[in-house]
Amino acid sequence: MSSSMLPARSLAHAKINLFLHITARRDNGYHELDSLAVFAQTADLLTLEAPCPAEQGMSLAIDGPFGAGLEAGSDNLVLRAASALRLAASLSDTLPAWQMRLTKNLPVASGIGGGSADAAAALRLLASAWQCEDVDLAPIAASLGADVPVCIAQKSRRMQGIGEILVAAPRLPRCAMVLVNPGVAVPTPAVFRAWKESGAAFRPSATLPAQWHDVAALAESLRSTSNDLQAPAIALFPVIGEVLSHLERSEECHFARMSGSGATCFGLYADLDAACRAAESLRAQGWWADAGWVQNTEDRR
């Protein structure tokens, strides 16, 4: 990448699970899923600000509304992604390192895959900066976390296996979405554990049509699916139930559910103005709320 192309930026969009069925458990303790992941308009922003000599090493600065409290050390998924790419692509130690900046707009540990989206953005940007675009990012992504593979392309996808099997999603209608987070950080392993301890049965994969023509049809289909992690997450964090009732009562909301392992919940609307009004009333509860279009739907590719 020439310095005239700097800074290089990538948006890391929030991933939302419209449904999530737990279909099996692997010997390593991970769960097999059937899930429909879509991407919200709201996003973190990752920037490659400047190259620096290799011996200085990669560095990460973090700002943004959810930046405080997020460590910028080697455990950060952005730096873990950089190391994993270097290793997998057998890159020379003499390649320049980068000063990177993460603007953290998405709540942390909130079921919308913010850290995974950041890791995927780092893989995309650094593969270009280090001119190794021909390296297959999928296995590197999978080694970083179950949600990272789907965040590479940031397109609506059916996620299966533990998240590494990505298949085409039905065609989605133009759809506005509200995201609401009540400010509790939810550790994903604890919610999977609570699901297991509840004794719930595995659920079959969902049966979906090839497309949905409008939000009402999408909502009708989603009612025959489930987020199997929602009940255990509510048992651990009852405020999630309150968030859902507020969303369900908002005007013109077709459907509300928790995403991933929570605590963020989403509402679906045909109209962006209705979604913006709902987000405003949810913010009045003291919660983080965002309204925007679902990405890559029929008329928004």
Ligand X SMILES: C[C@](O)(CO)[C@H](O)COP(=O)(O)OP(=O)(O)OC[C@H]1O[C@@H](n2ccc(N)nc2=O)[C@H](O)[C@@H]1O
**Which residues are at the interface with ligand ATP (CB under 6 A)?**
70, 76-78, 108-116, 118, 147, 188, 260-261
With CB under 5 to 8 Å by kind, the binding choice for 162 among ligand ATP, ligand X, none is ligand X
Q: Is 173 marked within a binding site?
A: no
Q: How far apart are CA 297 and CA 170, in angstroms?
A: 10
| 8 A C-beta contact, residue 14 and residue 43 | yes
Q: How far apart are CA 290 and CA 49, in angstroms?
A: 28
Q: How far apart are CA 279 and CA 272, in angstroms?
A: 10
Q: Point out which span in 62-70, 81-89, 140-148, 285-293 binds ligand X (CB under 6 A).
A: 140-148
Selected from 41, 188, 227, 297, the binder of ligand X by CB under 6 A is: 188
Q: How far apart are CA 227 and CA 81, in angstroms?
A: 28
- Per-residue binder mask for ligand X (CB under 6 A), 102-121, x = binder: -----------x--x-----
With CB under 5 to 8 Å by kind, the binding choice for 257 among ligand X, ligand ATP, none is none
Peptide bond into 209 cis (omega under 30): no
Nearer to ligand X, 142 or 276 (CB): 142
- Looking at the chain, list the stretches that DSSP marks H as alpha helix, in order from N- to C-terminal side: 77-88, 114-129, 137-144, 148-153, 188-197, 215-222, 230-236, 239-249, 272-283
Interface with ligand X includes 154 (CB under 6 A)? no
Question: Which residues are catalytically annotated?
Answer: 15, 147
Pick out the residues of the known binding site for ATP. Answer: 107-117
Binding stretches for ligand X (CB under 6 A) = 17, 20, 30-31, 33, 35, 113, 116, 145-147, 162-163, 188-189, 192, 260-261
